[in-house]
């Protein structure tokens, strides 16, 4: 049953050194505030999973907290490279970054398998690609009915999944709408679930396109208005494209990034 | 549709990128559904909805089915994609039921590197001895888009660095090493049917599946294309010249891109070219 | 692209002798009117698939149009037996009925595989049950990562799926809400899709909990108000429990059933 | 909660069915989530929400998560289940993400036949030589409910025809043939922990997994239960007597069933007993 907690306490309780953490949200509803709290608390040696690492993981990688990245597309959407991700992969700065690299379809199905309590999922994917040579989480299975060989991907079961949603009720039932990506699957695949929300309301009136996570499938809810910025929460904010562009200059250089990091860690109210 | 000569109504000359974008849009004539990567593919698909194919159904991997954006989306997850869609579904559903289910006619991909069999690299490039391999964004939706759409269009700028004899990494299978490879691997779609660049159009030779020059944009010579291609590019028996953009195409393309000036959007995002 | 058709024409065009047909709807939105049109047109030798055959298939079976039933729970919900189904299985009246029998989870996943373009689906199911001994559409697969053995079910890909929905727009985009069961999967698994709707509207305003099938995923829409009766369409009607109970007496006896059938077939406007 | 003697406020005597229903509801004390079959399980689960477990989350296979019906639903797909649910999801999602995902504490099943290892038959019965086998509704959700819930409760009326030494068909595995079978088959949940009838309660012996008599309803003798059981029923070392229904339990149960009089609902529906 989800308790309504402060973000600081919820992160400290639920996310630990060495955990596999998924912070999901497909461009929309990316839980930046929670990631910044992880940086402030210095929770480290993380394996981070996310279809699109986006600048949220560029920041965690640059902060030196990430040992391994599980992903399928690592760019700054609409802008260009993730420079901290590239620097870690190409130069090992500030630490080497192991990769478990997939296609979007593969990552999505890895979460589906995790949410479904299955050890693997089947898809028509990866054929002819060099990707399977680099990972031990892609294999093949043979259909017992047709004999056809298909790709199998191992279930992805994070220790913790963190997502941002529009709102929750006081019991901790969560409601989100708009592009809801792979968040339900990532949450249900995880051992623990932390949700930051724009607001808590007395009653979750039904919304078109809403995905609801019952309170008993969530471990903690933290109220963080604007907690997806510079991503957005449909109905509450719009994507801050200027911040995404500005990140390019911050992240391109180790010194400017380090200054950004120090400012974030120095000020508890930094974001 | 009449095809007047270009530039009559618009004073600025047509750019090579515009030739690429207009011809990419034209390639969507007759398609019912298109799986759209952000960047050049999205520009072309949105232009097609304003020109050759008003009913084209745009499918974005973020979950928007039938999105009808009023301006170019900057990211794959722009709010307007959801707001204007016929339906918004989960990302697993987009890939499993709609793409893998065989419901998409055309997959439209960008690329960092394309080889002569239209295989695609968006993962990493070899920067030469002693230098670390250059990291690209990765696969995104491309491997399964190329596998499961009815046919695939690839759009990228022409240079010897982009169109290469051999990929540094095969992210996404085009035609493998020849015409039988897709069938051997059980791929359902036809794979890449055209690579549309700022110089012209390459298509796989029906016999060998190797990309050959089939069309030049107005004013471009075959020699110039060969010089910009990393393998010894052959020409099809007939090489046509693409029709110049019409006034309408150009006006709509420029209006689209002007409205989208809030951000780049041409060179990044899943399926887009190298993210640098 | 879906055309708006008369029910008579749509059934005649889309459903043929010998087809495998799924008429889905989990208690809610069962396409009774379309089934009655199949009976009137005498389309026969059908393989019928449906998780819960319900009285809709009791009627088709009793009419002698069904060679095989693919299903997971065959009762009259809230009432008792499906007498025509039992009579066909136990006594071969009016013709023998072959069965391909599953669990709900298995049937649901068979449709999921079909909708996903996969030849099979994986689940934790059927273990220790005698069901797999009686079907060739359940097998096992071994997880290539963990070595665990799991159940595999063959994809179910009907020639035609028929569903009922609340409404459609003039282009044939379909919207349904409330309990939407396995309808999306059954429709997307099929070669052809026929949807009966309560009404056609100018614009499909978004609804909480709505499932939308784009017009290009549907072959024909027929406007049949009350077409789910005695099942129901949330927002338009309520389940007619009296009719479900009354069916028990009609179906219990071959003579009373035959009288019902003759009345249905005799009157084109019989329902 | 105090347990006054039964019948003080309500004049009509407690029926055997009511004893079964009240004790079935009590077995849900402490559970967070319950996967509910229609019929007796639904009656018990809805009574539990009005007595021992107001926060119990009811999950129906039709897709309703956290349904809070105001009266007994007549079918698994009653509109009120969706109208009162925290969330409505697809049937595949209910089975894959919520049941198979291991998120349900208690599975509550009816049955046509139960054997001494709590295996369940809802498929067909042998009517003897020369007669066709009697057709039952089939599996419904039961095989995976029994496999994947944390624990399983079974509720059915006691008779030698219902509680049998050997099933005519194993639809749903309980404890197989002994205590090791579930583990051997990789089943995740504990399986059936109680069979609650109109005469008393049977539970699997911890050593053998065979069902033994652990409780009698008030006024019922062990001999009467043995006579109604199709195998040589053994008794647990201690056989208790169930507490009589309280006034509150009985009043709420009767109100529930009176409001549901619009239709039967006790003897049919997926997971319910034989549909005859």
pLDDT at D75: 78
Contacts of C192 in chain B (CB under 8 A): none
Percent with pLDDT over 70 in chain B = 90
Residues of B with catalytic function: 61
Average pLDDT over residues A178-189: 98
Mean local confidence (pLDDT), C215-243: 96
Reported as a single tens digit per residue, the pLDDT across B8-20 is 455 789 999 999 9
When scoring C214, C215, C218, C219 by the number of chain B Cβ atoms within 10 A, the one with the most, hence best to mutate, is C214
Contact C129 D263 (CB under 8 A): no
Taking contacts as CB-CB distances below 8 angstroms, the residues of chain D near A188 are: 97, 101, 103
| pLDDT number for residue B268 | 34
Q: What is the predicted pLDDT for the residue at A181?
A: 97
Burial class from Cβ neighbours inside 10 Å (0-12, 13-18, 19+) for residue A202 reads exposed
pLDDT at res. B79: 83
Evaluate whether A76 touches A247 at the Cβ level (below 8 Å). Answer: yes
Contact at CB, A137 and C145, closer than 8 angstroms: yes
Interchain pair D144, C102: CB under 8 A: no
- Alpha-carbon distances, residue B33 vs B107, C2, C114, C196, D219 (angstroms): 9, 15, 20, 24, 71
Give ∠ CA A137-A139-A143 in degrees, rounded to 5: 135
Q: Among partner residues B82, B185, B262, which is closest to A178 by beta-carbon distance?
A: B82
Q: Which residues of D are catalytic?
A: 61
User: Tens digit of pLDDT for each residue in C146-174?
Assistant: 999 999 999 999 999 999 999 999 999 99
Residues from chain A contacting residue B64 (CB–CB below 8 Å): 179
Q: Contacts of residue B75 in chain A, CB cutoff 8 Å?
A: 27, 77-78, 239, 241, 244
Place of tokens 């956290």: D66
Q: Is B30 exposed, middle or buried (0-12, 13-18, 19+ CB in 10 A)?
A: exposed
pLDDT score recorded for residue D273: 34
Interface contacts C/D by beta carbons within 8 Å:
203
Count the alpha carbons within 13 Å of A183 in the hemisphere toward its beta carbon: 35
Contact (Cβ atoms closer than 8 angstroms) between residue A7 and residue A222: yes
CB-based contact D275 C82, cutoff 8 Å: yes
Total beta-carbon pairs less than 8 A apart between chain A and chain C: 65
Alpha-carbon distance of B276 to A253, in angstroms, equals: 14
pLDDT digits (tens, 9 = 90+) for D30-41: 999 999 987 889
Note the pLDDT tens digit of each residue in B164-176.
Answer: 999 999 999 999 9
Is the pLDDT at B5 greater than 50? The verdict is: no
Which residues lie below 8 Å from residue C169, measured CB to CB, with a gap of 6+? C200, C201, C202, C203, C204, C215
The minimum CA-CA distance between B168 and chain C, rounded to whole Å, is 29
Residues in chain D predicted with pLDDT less than 70, given as ranges, are: 1-10, 260-276
User: Quick one: average pLDDT of A53-80?
Assistant: 96
Q: Give chain D positions within 8 Å (CB) of A115.
A: 96-97, 101
Q: Where are the beta strands (DSSP E) in chain C?
A: 3-5, 20-23, 46-50, 66-71, 75-76, 80-81, 98-101, 120-123, 138-142, 149-154, 160-169, 174-176, 192-201, 211-213, 220-223
From the list D32, D86, D103, the residue facing A173 with the nearest CB is: D86
Q: Which chains touch C (3 or more CB pairs under 8 A)?
A: A, B, D
Are the Cβ atoms of C216 and B32 closer than 8 angstroms? Answer: yes
The predicted structure's pLDDT at residue A267: 62
* Amino acid C268: pLDDT: 52
**pLDDT digits over B189-244, tens only?**
999 999 999 999 999 999 999 999 999 999 999 999 999 999 999 999 999 999 99
Q: What is the mean pLDDT of chain C?
A: 96
The C-alpha atoms of residue D125 and residue D148 are separated, in whole angstroms, by 26
DSSP state of D172: B
Facing residue for C173 by CB, picked from B86, B97, B148: B86
CB D53 within 8 A of CB D29: yes
Say if the Cβ atoms of D92 and C239 lie within 8 Å: no
CA D91/CA B52 separation, integer angstroms: 41
Question: Which residue spans within C15-94 are E strands per DSSP?
Answer: 20-23, 46-50, 66-71, 75-76, 80-81
Residue A24 confidence (pLDDT): 98
Checking if the pLDDT of B269 tops 50, the result is no
* Chain D residues close to A214, C-beta within 8 Å: 57, 65-66, 86-87
* ipTM, two decimals: 0.95
B275 pLDDT band (50/70/90 cuts)? very low
pLDDT at C174: 98
Give the E-state strand segments of A129-268 in sequence order: 138-142, 149-154, 160-169, 174-176, 192-201, 211-213, 220-223
Residue C111 touches partner D, C-beta closer than 8 Å:
yes
The three-state (H, E, C) secondary structure of C203-265, written as one string: CCCCCECCEEECHHHCCEEEECCCCCCCCCCCCCCCCCHHHHHHHHHHHHCHHHHHHHHHHHH
Tokens 């879906």 found at: C2
Could you identify the residue written with the tokens 């529009």?
A: A166
Chains adjacent to B (≥3 CB pairs closer than 8 angstroms)? A, C
Side-chain-side CA neighbours of residue D255 (13 Å)? 12
Closest CA relative to residue A184, chosen from A201, A153, A149, A209: A209
pLDDT of residue D72: 86
CB atoms B143 and A127 under 8 Å: yes
CA distance B225 to B229: 6
């Amino acid at each position: 049953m989800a308790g309504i907690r402060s973000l600081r306490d919820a992160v400290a309780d639920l996310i630990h050194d060495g955990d596999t953490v998924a912070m999901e949200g497909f461009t929309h509803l990316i839980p930046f505030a929670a990631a910044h709290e992880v940086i402030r608390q210095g929770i480290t040696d993380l394996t981070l999973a996310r279809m699109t690492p986006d600048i949220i993981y560029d920041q965690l990688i640059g902060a030196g907290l990430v040992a391994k990245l599980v992903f399928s597309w690592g760019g700054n959407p609409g802008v260009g490279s993730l420079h901290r991700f590239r620097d870690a992969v190409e130069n090992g700065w500030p630490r080497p970054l192991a990769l478990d690299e997939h296609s979007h379809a593969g990552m999505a199905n890895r979460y589906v398998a995790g949410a479904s309590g299955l050890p693997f999922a089947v898809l028509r994917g990866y054929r002819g690609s060099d990707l399977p040579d680099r990972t031990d989480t892609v294999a093949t299975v043979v259909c017992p009915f047709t004999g056809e060989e298909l790709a199998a991907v191992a279930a992805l079961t994070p220790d913790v999944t963190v997502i941002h949603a529009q709102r929750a009720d006081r019991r901790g039932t969560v409601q989100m709408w708009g592009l809801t990506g792979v968040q339900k699957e990532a949450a249900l695949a995880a051992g623990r679930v932390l949700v930051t929300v724009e607001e808590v309301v007395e009653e979750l009136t039904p919304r078109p396109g809403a995905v609801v996570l019952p309170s008993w499938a969530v471990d903690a809810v933290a109220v963080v208005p604007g907690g997806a910025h510079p991503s957005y929460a449909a109905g509450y904010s719009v994507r801050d494209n200027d911040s995404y562009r500005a990140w390019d200059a911050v992240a391109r250089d180790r010194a400017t990034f380090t200054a950004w990091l120090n400012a974030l860690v120095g000020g508890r109210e930094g974001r | 549709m009449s095809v007047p000569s270009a530039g009559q109504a618009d004073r600025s000359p047509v750019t090579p990128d515009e030739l690429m974008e207009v011809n990419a849009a034209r390639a969507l004539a007759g398609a019912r559904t298109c799986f759209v990567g952000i960047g050049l593919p999205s520009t072309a698909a949105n232009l097609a909805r304003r020109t050759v194919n008003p009913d084209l159904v745009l499918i974005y991997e973020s979950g928007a089915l039938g999105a009808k954006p009023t301006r170019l989306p900057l990211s794959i997850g722009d709010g307007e994609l959801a707001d204007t869609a016929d339906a918004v579904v989960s990302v697993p559903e987009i890939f499993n039921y709609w793409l893998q289910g065989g419901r998409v006619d055309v997959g439209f991909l960008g690329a960092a590197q394309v080889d002569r069999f239209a295989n695609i690299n968006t993962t990493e490039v070899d920067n030469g001895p002693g230098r670390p391999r250059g990291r690209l964004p990765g696969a995104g939706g491309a491997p399964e888009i190329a596998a499961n759409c009815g046919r695939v269009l690839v759009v990228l700028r022409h240079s010897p660095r982009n169109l290469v004899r051999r990929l540094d990494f095969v992210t996404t299978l085009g035609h493998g090493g020849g015409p039988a490879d897709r069938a051997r691997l059980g791929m359902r779609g036809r794979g890449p049917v055209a690579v549309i660049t700022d110089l012209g159009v390459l298509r796989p030779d029906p016999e060998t599946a190797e990309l050959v020059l089939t069309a030049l944009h107005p004013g471009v010579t075959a020699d110039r294309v060969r010089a910009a291609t990393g393998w010894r590019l052959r020409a099809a028996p007939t090489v046509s010249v693409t029709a110049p953009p019409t006034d309408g195409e150009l006006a709509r393309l420029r209006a689209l891109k002007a409205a989208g000036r809030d951000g780049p959007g041409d060179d990044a995002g899943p399926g887009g070219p190298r993210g640098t």
